[in-house]
Amino acid sequence: MGENIVEMQKVSKAFPGVLALDNVDFSCIAAEVHAVVGENGAGKSTLMKILAGVYRPDGGNILLKGKKTVFPTPKHAQNCGISIIYQEFNLIPELTVAENIFLGREPTKRGRLIDSVTLKQRSRELLADLQADIDIQSKVKELGVAQQQMVEIAKALSLKADIIMMDEPSAVVSGRELASLFRIIRSLKESGKTIIYISHRIEEVFQIADRTTVLKDGHLVGTYDTRDLDKPQIVNLMVGRSLTETFPAREVGEKKEILTLDDVCRDNILQHVSFRVYSGEILGLAGLVGSGRTEIARAIFGACDIDSGRVLLNGSPVIRANPKSSIASGIGFVTENRAKDGLVYNMSVRKNLTLTILDRIKKWFFVPEATEKDICNDRVREYGIVTTGIEQEIQYLSGGNQQKVILAKWININPFMLILDEPTRGIDVGAKAEIYRLMRLLARQGTAIIMISSELPEIIGMSDRILVIHDGKVMGELSPSEATEERILMLATGQNAVQHQQKETPLAL
């Protein structure tokens, strides 16, 4: 093993009411992929943000190539060859790809004027190295999520970074895009770069990581050669127990049709979408990123208009639906981006939990604080939300506990239907198990759940029925017994059932 390129010794960091890191040691060497795993709140992101200069540690030392170093700002860390790519991309939508890659570091001529020719040429070279076919003059807002991720990686390379940290890089991609991401990571490693890879998807750790560091409750559990571990061992190290049954058992019972989509179309995004949803079931929507799954959910919730077709609730047509009327009808929508759409980060747990029911609990123009506190304390206990108290700011909760708050916020409206868009994105295996338990509990109580997920084991394990979406169309419906990852991917890439059967026949002979 080579010498450490970076070493963090006895690093500690505290936030209000939370000891995020407690005397943690971490090191990595040149040209390795080093995974960092742990439950939400384990301290992974805090450790990386200290290395990136976002946070200053309360104690401990950082050594860069053997020399004690302090990173007072992210700019200083970048100048030292350290870059971080966050799960929520740090790009300016209205600027072009090239402008984003060199934002704040634009090449100049005659000392002051931006050298546009050099800017574009360097951007093309960086994207070519990544084998990314992206128009450098396109605005970032016009790009898909996977392309935006390539722009972030190109930006990191433009900084001439030796250490590139990736925080949940696979959370927004799947299938071929994920394979492309892994190819790029291996290429960066071969060129001598060190990749620090934070992920909750344990399967990926075995595909990509040379070594794995496990954190738990702000403490270092250990650093291991990945080849010496297996999935049950990593789970046990992360959560302190084995999770033998990831998915709760399904229950069969009488189902009542409550939602009908009939030939729904919208702007070439949704094309003649028809299906039904029943009470007490979990309907899974599978498909690649950009397939139209989220657009279907938004159309049901009234967050976007449809051009033609009908949406019926309990047999009655819905006229000009909007989010407010949907909530009043008993439809909840957990969006895929909790940071942008799900939470108000500088508000307390209490205020976030009651956002959806203020009209219901207010008296005249005031919300009775005692009533609000009673509701919130009940929800915290009922759903196992780990917090120092309901007045704690939501930003200081772990991702898994933030997701529980969002679920509880919508459960407060007593929904007859709940739409969950990527409900377990970016949360650990222990928190996932809790979310799955809550989903199955709601289904048993009669709530219809529409679940969008890019994780195929989750779709197969949790869904009572599975609809596969491609290019805004429903390509097929599968029962859990029929569903395999291969079959879902075939449909998700536009191959119909006949094509799929033809492909499978030789294997059966």
Q: Provide DSSP, 203-242.
A: HHHHHH-SEEEEEETTEEEEEEEGGG--HHHHHHHHHSS-
Q: Which residue ranges does the chain devote to CATH 3.40.50.300?
A: 4-239, 247-330+416-431+439-509
User: Architecture of 4-239 per CATH?
Assistant: 3-Layer(aba) Sandwich (3.40)
Tell me the average pLDDT across 360-371.
82
- Of the listed ranges 126-130, 262-266, 447-451, the least confidently predicted one is 126-130
Residue 364 has a pLDDT of 79
What are the two backbone dihedrals, phi and then psi, of residue 419, each rounded to the nearest 5 degrees?
-100, 125
Report the mean per-residue pLDDT for the chain: 85
d(CA 311, CA 263): 9
Structure tokens at 467: 């609809």
- pLDDT per residue over 15-48, tens digit each? 876 788 999 999 999 999 999 998 777 888 899 9
Residue 241 has a pLDDT of 58
The yes-or-no verdict on residue 175 having pLDDT over 70 is no
More confident residue, 197 or 427: 197
Which helix or strand (DSSP H or E) is residue 151 part of? helix 145-158
The yes-or-no verdict on residue 437 having pLDDT over 50 is yes
What are the two backbone dihedrals, phi and then psi, of residue 507, each rounded to the nearest 5 degrees?
-70, -25
SS3 assignment for 170-184:
CCCCCCHHHHHHHHH
Q: How confident is the model at residue 128 (pLDDT cuts 50, 70, 90)?
A: confident
Residue 497 has a pLDDT of 46
Residue 501 has a pLDDT of 41
Tell me the average pLDDT across 307-333.
88
Residue with the two structure tokens 């290429």: 187
- pLDDT per residue over 213-272, tens digit each? 999 888 999 999 999 998 888 888 887 655 555 688 887 767 889 999 999 999 888 999
User: Architecture of 247-330+416-431+439-509 per CATH?
Assistant: 3-Layer(aba) Sandwich (3.40)
- pLDDT per residue over 143-169, tens digit each? 877 788 888 888 888 888 899 998 887
d(CA 105, CA 108): 9
